[in-house]
Structure 1
Amino acid sequence: MLNISFPKLVMIWLTVVIGLTFAMPNAFYGRVETHNDALNIIETGQTNAELEADAALWPNFLPSNLVNLGLDLRGGAHLLVEVQVEDVHASFLEGFWPEVRDVLLTERDTVGFVERLDSAATELKVSISQAAGATRAFELVRGLGRPVTSFTGAAASNIDVRIDGNVLTVTLSEAEMAAMNERTILQTLEIIRRRIDEVGTREPTIQRQGAERILVQVPGVGSANDIIDLLGTTAQLTFNPVQGRTSDPDASPGTGNMLVPSQEQEGVFYILERRPVVTGEDLENAQLDFDQNGRPAVSFRFNTSAARKFGDFTLENIGSPFAIVLDDEVISAPTIQSHIPGGSGIITGNFSVEEATNLAVLLRAGALPAELIFLEERTIGPELGQDSIDAGQIACIVAAIAILVYMVLSYGLFGLFANIALIINVGLIFGLLSIVGATLTLPGIAGIVLTIGMAVDANVIVFERIREELKTAKGPARAIELGYEKALSSIIDANITTFITAVILFTMGSGPVSGFAVTLGFGIITSVFTAIFVTRSLISIWFARARPKTIEV
């Protein structure tokens, strides 16, 4: 029967109302944005009459999610950074020294005593006391080399070893440096992307520029400093045993130890074991939390192997302090009160909610393998100018008016129903974009324009099918019912193929291509929904009230 059951009718229009409710804040963009900004500041503990007034600009019981405007529509932050790949080279050689020392100590009778000499960060110099064992030492150290993990240097060793008298010099080979640089840049690109865009809908532009530089553009950010704060922290997290503390910044920490300043107490320095118990690389998760006094903190959880190691350490060192070190600063040095099994804990400090949230993001995204140098930083306005934005809006309006007029002239009252569904369709697209927090760019507007043109396709198929059924002398109710039934498979097939294309564009593309794919994909979903359910429910309601003997489509 043509009539739609009441529960089904309620579900259809409840979906429409919810979608349009989420889309509604975009019609009051400035007001809702001011409301959201005020709430974010109030959540940090700051409040005044002006903030309260701004927060009251939009009712709290209504959704306040907005569609983010892209860099080409709104502007944002523009940064050019250089990755200090030399840091990774130095870190590798620093970690390689214990292996060199241990392998030479296995033949102390031949090579004698071993001592590390001061040298540049890009090389490791080792002195042996017995010059006669230099050749043997050279062979032992060279044997520590590993094949380069790259296609171009697979046959080469990752280290070069030279001998000059009783001094061995170890450096990275050219093939290993090239492979290490490539890995570092790719890892940095991924970590920057995770830090800036955890959800995947913010649409930053993150591109490699040359060998060691990365271009970062983030839409909708008021200042480049916001992104610098997020990217400027390396986020190297370690958990180190504490050997002591001092107020002397020039104090000698001793062999195997290091002197690290306290972040909480100015002028206080901790003497820590250089080798950490666990590191941030072992973290499985980190998120905003609050300590027992209600102050912002960061809770964390280690993976299985690190949890076991951390649990054993706490069991053996009850009553002793250990330090949580972030980027060469002790942010907390609690005393171990009891055995901590399970590998979870909490990082406390003088954090604000925003600082604790950012730290959790940094730890989840992972530590940068090398320091970033900001070569260029600026906050930019819309790339294509207000004229292009206005042109996009005009394109949407013209396309919509043309479709509305065409449908009414072609299908009369049924065309009017299709037009109502089309308007609802556009609203639902913005509702979905608001829910997921997607970013709208000029290509995204093009996707909406394309959706407007495609949205009536399903209705056209249905209406033409109803015309065919009316020619077979069936009653109007039966003709409408058969029109929808026989057109359904064609509608589904046509839209599935386009939706698959949108998914591929979103998966394989980035930036503007991804923005186009998002709006196109959402447009296909809402178009099918409005054509199959909304238009049919409008026709059903009209038919139930008018009871026409004949209809014209």
Structure 2
Amino acid sequence: MLNKYPLWKNLLVVFVILLAALYALPNIYGEDPAVQISADRQATIDTSTLDRVRSVLTSADISPKSIALEEQQILVRLTSDDQQLKARETLVDSLGDNYIVALNLAPATPEWLKSIGAEPMKLGLDLRGGVHFLMEIDMDEAIRKIVDGMKDTVRNELREERIRYTAVDAGDDGVTVELRNDEAYQAAESYLSDRYQGYQLVEEPEQRTLVLQMTEEKLAETRDYAVSQNITIMRNRVNELGVAEPLIQRQGSNRIVVELPGVQDTARAKEILGATATLEFRMVDTDNDVRDAINGRVPFGSELLPMRDGQDQLLKEDVILTGDHIVNAGVGYDEYNRPQVNITLDGAGGNKMSMATKDNVGDPMATVFIEYKATDERDDEGNLQFTKSAEVINVATIQSRLGSSFRITGVGAQEAKNLALLLRAGALIAPIQIVEERTVGPSLGQQNIDAGTQAIFWGFVLVLVFMVAYYRKFGLVANCALAANLVLIIGVMSMIPGATLTLPGMAGIVLTVGMAVDANVLIFERIREEIKAKRSPQQAIHHGYDSALSTIADANVTTLIAALILFAIGNGPIKGFAITLAIGIITSMFTAIIGTRALVNSVWGGKRLSKLSI
């Protein structure tokens, strides 16, 4: 019998459309204005903090929709924007500087939808609002790190070659080596000459001094490397923040642009993106008295650093290991339920840690937390100046030879979480400073949403009217397919974790609305041609769909290829347009070919017909 689908095909079509509708449903619930409370390093979030927040809001005559403690943060949902602003001002005044109180928008999706993983579409910066950061890199620090590494390498190699030196110091763009005598000077000159690519050897025989100085090419390469590596690490940190479709790109020689759609917790974003935290592991200097160092007599090769409890600790200057070798870091708890950071090193880091600890079992080793902070000063070239702060967060006795996995303690719960995030994402190659910050408010985004929605609506309505006027009942079938297509696009966009709807993406949907009926126009015109050729209505339907299939496939596949190329090579707005276009092409082929065929078969299939309303 012509034009009859088996039951399973009809059920498949219904299942796909209902599934898409289910996952598109969260988009109609909107979002609640909310206030998000998190703690800095000196504070914690717990049930007592929750009770305090509830009491503060009650005293201020603010009635929130809900207050919940989630992942070391408190989320307060409110009923209006006015209440949101009032709640934030009240909580900032009451909680003090140890807590970060930020505005937020929390999805109002019902719990039964959340339980199946249904979430609303993520919106881009132009629709959702968000923050724009312009960051500047401290290039002097990037070069200093390279030079410091070179200093340690040169010093170790001279020791291995038994070349006697007086000092090995790091300069602005090179390493200075002072030799003991003429014999050592000649041996060092012979050994270091042409040994390091990108460095030139400057000889000062009268002072028995050699300078390994970076070439201009090496300096340019180092600056370029600092920018590219910081961009990579920024992407890792943004991924940890859970922001979809961020824009992270280079601007000029030493700046990076970061756009985070949907982020209203700017304090949290700045804390994670701008942090330059890393770790250093050093041995404690047990050969000298820390009291002498406190009184100003710091031994050569050692450094006095503060601890969190207010005391001072005397450490060896030699660094066993830095955070650059950390490949994974996670938060855990010890047997006393105290937070700790579990660290995994790469192969080179594991070897360094193993070699450093094998002869130091029973000796104390310190974990140093290092952070760079920008000042308001700039150098003669206009570059920002940074200050380095170092703090000992943990001193532990080495119980046995360590390898690629170990843990650090002595941190709070929230700090353990932040530290693990930063170490997992990677330490920045050089410090950065946010020199410009812009916030795109949700109100501006709402104007774009309204404009885009109107474009989709009127495009949809005009296509509906045309199809009904021109193809009559078959036009209604095409309109049903067009409505199902919109549901499918929204459902698929909501299901894909990385998909984000932007204003160009809405343009892609408008284009898809027009393109989606192309397939039905081809099919319906073929059916008309078959009827003119004196075929029966059932044969006309059958041959109309079969004959148009190859043409529809060719046209849509070529457009899909173009969309995929745009997605692969484009960024920002281009990607937003490409992803909705690609999804729209796939869903429109499903609804226009399979969906309408199922509906046509259900209405006209297997019946004796004398004519068709087309």
Work out the CA distance in 2 between the residues paired with 1:404 and 1:120.
73
2:165–2:184 contact (8 Å) kept in structure 1: no
Alignment of 1:134-533 (within 5 A): 134=185, 137-146=188-197, 148=198, 158-163=199-204, 165-197=207-239, 202-242=244-284, 257-262=302-307, 265-272=308-315, 274-275=317-318, 277-287=320-330, 298-304=341-347, 306-307=349-350, 322-327=365-370, 328-333=390-395, 343-346=404-407, 350-352=411-413, 358-381=418-441, 387-435=447-495, 436-533=497-594
TM-score (norm 1): 0.82
- Is the strand fraction higher in 1 or 2? 2
SS of the counterpart of 1:168? strand
Structure 2 counterpart of 1:154: none
SS of the counterpart of 1:208? strand
Per-residue deviation at 1:404? Answer: 0.9
Name the count of aligned residue pairs.
535
Structure 2 counterpart of 1:128: 179
RMSD of aligned residue pairs (Cα, Å): 3.9
Structure 1 counterpart of 2:387: none
Which one-letter code corresponds to 1:115 in the other structure? A
The answer for unaligned runs of 5 or more in structure 2 is 38-64, 81-104, 371-389
Q: Aligned to 1:95, which of 134, 149, 152?
A: 149
Question: Which stretch of the first structure deviates more once superposed, 318-327 or 218-227?
Answer: 318-327
Answer yes or no: is 1:539 the counterpart of 2:539: no
Answer yes or no: is 1:59 the counterpart of 2:60: no
Structure 1 counterpart of 2:13: 12
Work out the CA distance in 2 between the residues paired with 1:100 and 1:339.
27
CA distance change for structure 1 residues 46 and 505 in 2, over 3 Å: closer, same or farther? closer
CA distance change for structure 1 residues 243 and 470 in 2, over 3 Å: closer, same or farther? farther
1:284–1:303 contact (8 Å) kept in structure 2: yes
Per-residue deviation at 1:62? Answer: 0.8
Of all paired residues, the percent bearing the same amino acid is 38
Per-residue deviation at 1:380? Answer: 3.4
Work out the CA distance in 2 between the residues paired with 1:324 and 1:516.
48
Work out the CA distance in 2 between the residues paired with 1:393 and 1:52.
25
2:321–2:353 contact (8 Å) kept in structure 1: yes
Question: Which stretch of the first structure deviates more once superposed, 14-23 or 293-302?
Answer: 293-302
Work out the CA distance in 2 between the residues paired with 1:75 and 1:186.
27
Structure 1 counterpart of 2:131: 77
Question: Which stretch of the first structure deviates more once superposed, 529-538 or 304-313?
Answer: 304-313
CA distance change for structure 1 residues 240 and 10 in 2, over 3 Å: closer, same or farther? farther
SS of the counterpart of 1:42? strand
1:320–1:335 contact (8 Å) kept in structure 2: yes
1:257–1:271 contact (8 Å) kept in structure 2: yes
Which one-letter code corresponds to 2:70 in the other structure? E
Question: Which stretch of the first structure deviates more once superposed, 405-414 or 372-381?
Answer: 372-381
Question: Which stretch of the first structure deviates more once superposed, 215-224 or 447-456?
Answer: 215-224
Per-residue deviation at 1:400? Answer: 0.8
Work out the CA distance in 1 between the residues paired with 2:151 and 2:265.
43
SS of the counterpart of 1:62? helix
1:36–1:55 contact (8 Å) kept in structure 2: no
SS of the counterpart of 2:542? helix
1:160–1:173 contact (8 Å) kept in structure 2: no
Per-residue deviation at 1:36? Answer: 11
Structure 2 counterpart of 1:22: 23
SS of the counterpart of 2:260? strand
Which one-letter code corresponds to 2:22 in the other structure? T
Per-residue deviation at 1:80? Answer: 1.8
CA distance change for structure 1 residues 47 and 211 in 2, over 3 Å: closer, same or farther? closer
Work out the CA distance in 1 between the residues paired with 2:409 and 2:487.
45
Work out the CA distance in 2 between the residues paired with 1:249 and 1:5.
87
Structure 2 counterpart of 1:43: 70
Work out the CA distance in 2 between the residues paired with 1:125 and 1:512.
50
Deviations 1:341-393 (A, max 9, x none): 7x44555554446x555444433332211000222224233697765543322
Question: Which stretch of the first structure deviates more once superposed, 305-314 or 160-169?
Answer: 305-314
Work out the CA distance in 2 between the residues paired with 1:368 and 1:526.
42
2:136–2:432 contact (8 Å) kept in structure 1: yes
Work out the CA distance in 2 between the residues paired with 1:543 and 1:277.
79
Work out the CA distance in 2 between the residues paired with 1:534 and 1:192.
44
CA distance change for structure 1 residues 351 and 522 in 2, over 3 Å: closer, same or farther? farther
Per-residue deviation at 1:420? Answer: 1.6
2:131–2:440 contact (8 Å) kept in structure 1: yes
1:417–1:539 contact (8 Å) kept in structure 2: yes
SS of the counterpart of 1:433? helix
Per-residue deviation at 1:449? Answer: 0.8
Which one-letter code corresponds to 2:139 in the other structure? V
Work out the CA distance in 2 between the residues paired with 1:91 and 1:536.
66
Work out the CA distance in 2 between the residues paired with 1:302 and 1:405.
64
2:179–2:209 contact (8 Å) kept in structure 1: yes
Question: Which stretch of the first structure deviates more once superposed, 394-403 or 95-104?
Answer: 95-104
